[in-house]
Amino acid sequence: MAAIRFTVTFLLLTLLLGVNKAKSQSFIGVNYGQVADNLPSPAATAKLLQSTSIQKVRLYGSDTAIIKALANTGIGVVIGTSNSDILALASDPSFAKNWVSTNVVAYYPSSKIILVTVGNEVIMSGDKNLITQLLPAMQNVKNALDAASLGDTVKVSTVHSMALLKQSEPPSSGSFDPSFGDVLKGLLAFNTATGSPFAINPYPYFAYRSDPRPETLAFCLFQPNSGRFDANTKIMYMNMFDAQVDAVRSALNAMGFENVEIVVAETGWPYKGDSDEVGPSVENAKAYNGNLIAHLRSMVGTPLMPGKSVDTYLFALYDEDLKPGPTSERSFGLFKSDLTVTYDIGLSKSSQTPVTPTMPKTPVTPSSQPKKADWCVPKPGPSDAQLQASLDYACGQGIDCSPIQPGGACFEPNTLAAHAAYAMNLFYQTAGRNPWNCDFSQTAMLSSNNPSYNGCTYPGGST
What CA–CA distance (Å, rounded) separates 102 from 62? Answer: 9
**Strand partners for 456:** 453
DSSP-derived 3-state class of residue 200: strand
Catalytic: which of 169, 261, 266, 320? Answer: 266
Q: Where are the alpha helices (DSSP H) in 255-326?
A: 282-297
121 is catalytic: yes
What CA–CA distance (Å, rounded) separates 243 from 256? Answer: 20
Other C-beta atoms closer than 10 Å to the C-beta of 332 total 27
Choose among 190, 96, 78: nearest CA to 140.
96
For 129, residues 6+ apart whose C-beta sits below 8 A from its C-beta are 87
**Strand partners for 263:** 199
Choose among 445, 442, 5: nearest CA to 225.
442
Q: Where are the alpha helices (DSSP H) in 55-173?
A: 64-69, 86-91, 93-100, 128-147
Catalytic: which of 121, 258, 320, 329? Answer: 121
266 is catalytic: yes
CB 138 within 8 A of CB 118: yes
- Report phi then psi at 57, rounded to 5: -130, 130
Residues serving a catalytic function are: 121, 266
